[in-house]
Amino acid sequence: MAGLSGVPIIILKEGSKRDTGKDAQRRNILAAKAVAEAVRTTLGPKGMDKMLIAGEEATITNDGATILREMDIEHPVAKMIVEVAKAQDDEIGDGTTTAVIIAGKLLEKAEALLDMDVHPTVIVQGYKQAAARAQKVLSEMAIDVSGDERVLLKIAQTAMRGKGIEIAMDTLAKISVDAARAVAGFEGKDIEENIKIVLIPGGRIEDSVINYGIVIEKERTTLEMPKSVANAKIMLLEGTLELKKLDTDAKITITEAKNLASFKEGEELVIRSQVDAIVAAGANVVFCEKGIGVFAQNYLARLGILAVRRVKREDLKMLALATGARLVGDVMVVTSKDLGSAALVEERKIGKDKHMIFVEGCEKAKAVSIILHGVSEQFLEEMERALDDALNVVMDVIRSGKIVPGGGAPEIVVAENLRQYASTLEGREQLAVRAFADAVESIPLTLAENSGFDPVDSLAALRAKSGQGMKNFGLNLITGEPADMLALGVVEPLKVKTQAIKSATEAATMVLRVDDVIAAKREEMAPKPGQSPHDYTRPPMQMPHY
């Protein structure tokens, strides 16, 4: 609404809602803080779990990425925070909770600065300066550990602590390191592109293993086919081994019985020639993306070829990476160069009535499978989430070679450095830089609180050690006292910390830049001819709740 000579001019539809200035910023900050508060208590190895209920299914976890993904969030600003957290998870695979907590605290501190009449632009500028400085400090305190397997195991164990699977931590840490090192040369964007996790309820946790090949949740097409093939030569077929169906308008007229027999013989001849081409190329195992007809099944079985049909596209790609085979669309042009190899392809019975195809012993496999055994599906899902975090952080360290101590040590060092840096600034940006330092310190503060220790005493003790130049000292969550994190083996990838700072800063500055929130009125859909206006309205539009 604008005024002209005292007469109001309305530019929004009646029923629209608008918040401007500090009111809009406060409400947005409140929404972002609510998201941070939802995951704050899950931080650290002693963090609490959340129960997420969807219908009749319940998921119990303290994985920040899972919690935020499953929460049914409606407020647009809260969704922005979740999206930034998702970006952290997609980019690094860990540190989501850390990023959200820092973002929430940055906005809480910004709210106090707004009350002091510090302009949002000044706060944003100060936060950006502080983030750049923090990145530099973290890089300077990083330690190069390229190729050190012991450090990789410690990294994996740190990522899995507090996930409720401590009983399996040593086994899973070793598996995650072996799997990550096996595929580290493959520059896939997502680790899911070349590491497949297969969950098998039942058995002991110690039975979990890494398979240098791929496990397919399928069974051989017919029981007449061989159950296992050693020294397998594998063909990956994108097409089908059955005749294509005729178009709906197509029609074939056969007037005599002998013509029908000739027609069927012609069809069989086509399939026979395709299977003969497979044999000529040297393949004894075929994975087919689409169907395999009955005649093709029988002919393949007579020739001793193991075939699997309707294999997922993703599994075919992973088989290609593992075996070295090429995906082919036409079997008539396949040569031996298109085939992959494996020491063994075998169908095995899993549980009471489930069968899977195991492709094992692939030399120089760029894709592997991890087979997890557990007492229940819920426990297996938590194992998978913990293993996914471990795989991502181990891969980060293999590729970057840089780590920092854990336990809140880097946050304390960054905070102390930022306070010194703030004293060199003359404008109001120094207030924002100090606020940034306080926000970063919320990580060791939360770790102490979640572990049952006095957060103020713990923070004071950590600051004292940092002031003495002991930069590797973080919070020992068993004793509550400062301790050398490198000596304890509590370490984290540098990329997790730098990306968390970056993600949190982006989220906070994005929210602070919004000073006007306009919520449009929900409109009703016009009724159809002859229909009462009360019979039909547009489905409810999700509106922000303040």
The catalytic site residues sit at: 63, 96-97, 389
Dihedral sign for Cα atoms in the order 349, 351, 352, 357: negative
Q: Are 99 and 92 in contact (CB under 8 A)?
A: no
Name beta bridge partners: 529: none
Residue 127: which of 501, 414, 464, 481 has the closest Cα? Answer: 501
Q: How many CB atoms lie within 10 A of CB 402?
A: 20
How far CA 65 is from CA of 92, 98, 116, 487, in Å, comes to 12, 11, 35, 29
| Rounded Cα gap, residues 358 and 346, in angstroms | 5
| Rounded Cα gap, residues 307 and 286, in angstroms | 5
Q: Are 490 and 158 in contact (CB under 8 A)?
A: yes
| Rounded Cα gap, residues 468 and 458, in angstroms | 16
| Rounded Cα gap, residues 456 and 468, in angstroms | 19
Q: Give the position of tokens 């959200």.
A: 100
| Rounded Cα gap, residues 235 and 183, in angstroms | 22
- Alpha-carbon dihedral of residues 518, 524, 526, 527, nearest 10 degrees? 170
Residue 11's Cβ-count burial label (10 Å; 0-12, 13-18, 19+) is: exposed
Up-side HSE of residue 289: CA atoms within 13 Å toward CB?
18
Q: Are 339 and 283 in contact (CB under 8 A)?
A: yes
Q: Helices 409-422 and 455-467 sit at what angle, rounded to 10 degrees?
A: 70
3-state helix, strand, coil in the chain (%, to 5): 50, 20, 35
Label residues 335-362 b or e (16+ Cβ within 10 Å = b): eeebbbebeebbbeebeeeeebbbbbbb
For 471, phi then psi, to 5°, come to: -75, -15
